[in-house]
Structure 1
Amino acid sequence: MLDKNALFALSLFPYLGFLWFLTRTKGTPKMALFGFYALLIFVAVTIPAGAYAQFVRNEELANIDWLHGSAEAFLTLSNIFVVLGFRQAVVQRQRQAVVSDEDPEPSPSAPLPRGEGS
């Protein structure tokens, strides 16, 4: 059975695949994409923090509050960027829907409905 540290390290590979596909999806909000990439900072900070806790302090990372809290701050920041990015996309979509509902005249390039015009 894998220990939690090995599982944590192995989980990086599917996450990198997720980022690759998400980056190729042009509809992903930029700020949310930044948040997903910022999660890698959390991983980069947590690994040495966990090693320090284990080898220097002979403790689990979760038992050293200042160190654990500092690492978790990066997780919180990345989550904030993800949420704000998707919120911004939803608000922008709603604004576009309101503008299109308020436009009573068709644009000159819009096709005429059947039965109108010559």
Structure 2
Amino acid sequence: MKAVLRYVWGTIRVFNNLAAAVLLVLIFILIAGALAKKPAPHVPDGAALVLDLEGSLRERPVPPDPAALLRGSEIPKTVLLRNLLRVIEHAASDERVKMLVLSLDKFAGGGAADLHRIA
């Protein structure tokens, strides 16, 4: 009887270790797939870059208010000036991009100096 229980327990341990190993491999595959480099989007010649700006223009990100997070309030969206300037400069150097379109429906504005740097 003791030998049978030892055999059953050993079999359970083997299957448990095997299942854990398979699960670990699947997790690594999922992580590798998520981190894999996505193909660059195709940009045709004469394309227009549309920037849908949402939130206010800031030089630095504003840390969220912890009390507002606990209340479940929405985190205010911001557009970082350096990111926007980097995108505009990259589009200006790309010969395929012929124009820049700004969608300002949800844009909350920014400081005069920051807006002047974009213009």
TM-score, length of structure 2 as denominator length: 0.32
Q: Which has the higher contact order (CA 8 A, sep 6+)?
A: 2
Structure with the bigger percentage of helix: 1
TM-score, length of structure 1 as denominator length: 0.32
Bigger Cα Rg: 2
Structure with the bigger percentage of strand: 2
